[in-house]
Amino acid sequence: MATTLPELTRTIDDDFLNTWYEVRPDAKDNILESNVLLLALKEHGCLTPQVGGTYVTRSVSFGTKNKQNFQKGTVLTQSETDIDTMARWDWKYFAVDVNRSLVDDSKNSGKFKRRDYIARRLERAKDSLEQDIETDLFRYDAYAAAPKNMNGLLDIAVGITVNTVLKGSGAADYDTYASGTSNGNINRTNTWWRNWASEDGQDSTESVVNKLAADPVSPYSLNLLPDMRHFFNMVSANQESPNLILCDQSIFEAYEDEVADKQQIVRTSFDKKAADLGFETLTFKGATMSYSSKLAGSMNMFFLNLNHIELVYNPNVWFDMTNWKETANQFERVAYISCMTTGLITDQPRRHGVLEYTS
């Protein structure tokens, strides 16, 4: 039993820290299962730990050697060809604050009140992490506007309409993706470092930054299934297919209507897990399809291959709580639950695509 004010403060300090580290494993699981994209990353083994390091790096192969045909007397040639380079991602950091004050500590100093007091404050912090991480992963703005955010969907699969400056429109709002700083510090003007993209009415001469699907797509209400089939095959290239498709609710419901009488009920282990957690999923050519409210109004479908996506994190700074800090000349105290991660990264953009609709 604390007998002095400093002892009471230290006791509650310890209670907060001990409680957080008791619930931290469950809290991490809850956060990583709070939206369908995080759940997919977790279930497909895309969470990659890395302790320390100034950057996160991956070797990228882009060059090839050519065979030589020969016959008797042929003089063979040799050449030294650059075939590898390095992609590099910066660490990103985020935290949520947990606040206390002497007034609240004193009011909630009883054993049972203290337990509820601590649980409420920590639950609020956890809820904030869930909502804000989802927002960052699905964010739909220019990288330059939010350089402190962890990498999201547009950092691994950028669309055409975002790159308006590349289409000769004169707009210069979204040229960061073209300059190459948003994905592994490699310029997207390199043809081997581009994802697939197709847009409603898009002409093939207008896309500089993306591999373009051969035919433009129609409004989704008219031609959704053929568009999806064509784009899926373009991204797959008859080699490796996407295994996760994400879109907004309106496109998801349109697809649901299309396949209402045709859908074959085939559930993967991930689909079952998603259903158990309350996420709506369908399948398209074996890939799991779902939607997010964070994509509302974007009219885009992301075709992702989770075999080539990672979310790298530092396990030493992963939902860890700091010590309590005093506020100068006040009775308030604050601690932070902090994380260190890259967000989404990919070393093969060609395995992903964005099917864009404008209507």
Q: Who contacts 125 (Cβ-Cβ below 8 Å, separation ≥6)? A: 96, 97, 98, 337
Share of the chain above pLDDT 70, in %: 81
- What is the C-alpha to C-alpha distance for residues 282 and 271, in angstroms, rounded to an integer? 8
- What is the C-alpha to C-alpha distance for residues 355 and 232, in angstroms, rounded to an integer? 9
Query: Are 324 and 16 within 8 A, CB to CB?
Result: yes
Task: Decide if 78 is inside a domain.
Answer: no
- What is the C-alpha to C-alpha distance for residues 309 and 346, in angstroms, rounded to an integer? 5
Task: Decide if 65 is inside a domain.
Answer: no
SS3 75: coil
pLDDT tens digits for range 181-224: 467 888 777 778 888 887 653 433 333 345 555 454 556 777 88
Share of the chain above pLDDT 90, in %: 26
What's this model's pTM, rounded to 2 decimal places? Answer: 0.83
329 vs 29, which has greater pLDDT?
Answer: 29
Query: Are 151 and 160 within 8 A, CB to CB?
Result: no
Task: Decide if 179 is inside a domain.
Answer: yes
pLDDT tens digits for range 231-254: 899 899 889 999 999 999 999 999
Task: Measure Cα distances from 11 to 125, 312, 331 in Å.
Answer: 20, 35, 16
What's the confidence (pLDDT) of residue 263?
Answer: 57
pLDDT tens digits for range 297-325: 778 899 999 999 999 999 999 999 998 88
Task: Decide if 107 is inside a domain.
Answer: yes
What's the confidence (pLDDT) of residue 213?
Answer: 52
Kindly give the residue spans of alpha helices, DSSP state H, lying in 171-261. 176-179, 220-236, 249-258
List, as own/partner pairs, every contact residues 145-152 make where C-beta atoms lie below 8 angstroms and the sequence separation is at least 24, other chains included: 148/92, 148/93, 149/92, 149/343, 150/92, 150/94, 150/341, 150/342, 150/343, 150/344, 151/89, 151/92, 151/182, 151/183, 151/342, 151/343, 151/344, 151/345, 152/343, 152/344
The answer on pLDDT for 80 being more than 80 is no
What's the confidence (pLDDT) of residue 317?
Answer: 94
The answer on pLDDT for 91 being more than 90 is yes
Task: Decide if 79 is inside a domain.
Answer: no
> What range defines the domain where residue 217 resides?
1-56+85-359
Query: Are 182 and 158 within 8 A, CB to CB?
Result: yes
Confidence of residue 289 (pLDDT cuts 50, 70, 90): very high
The answer on pLDDT for 168 being more than 60 is no
Confidence of residue 163 (pLDDT cuts 50, 70, 90): very low
Hunting for tokens 């010590």 — which residue is that?
323
Report the mean per-residue pLDDT for the chain. Answer: 80
Task: Decide if 224 is inside a domain.
Answer: yes
Task: Decide if 64 is inside a domain.
Answer: no
Task: Decide if 62 is inside a domain.
Answer: no
Which residue, 271, 232, 184, 255, is CA-closest to 352? Answer: 232
Which residue, 150, 193, 142, 140, is CA-closest to 172? Answer: 142
Total domains in the fold of the chain: 1
Tokens standing for residue 16: 């907060």
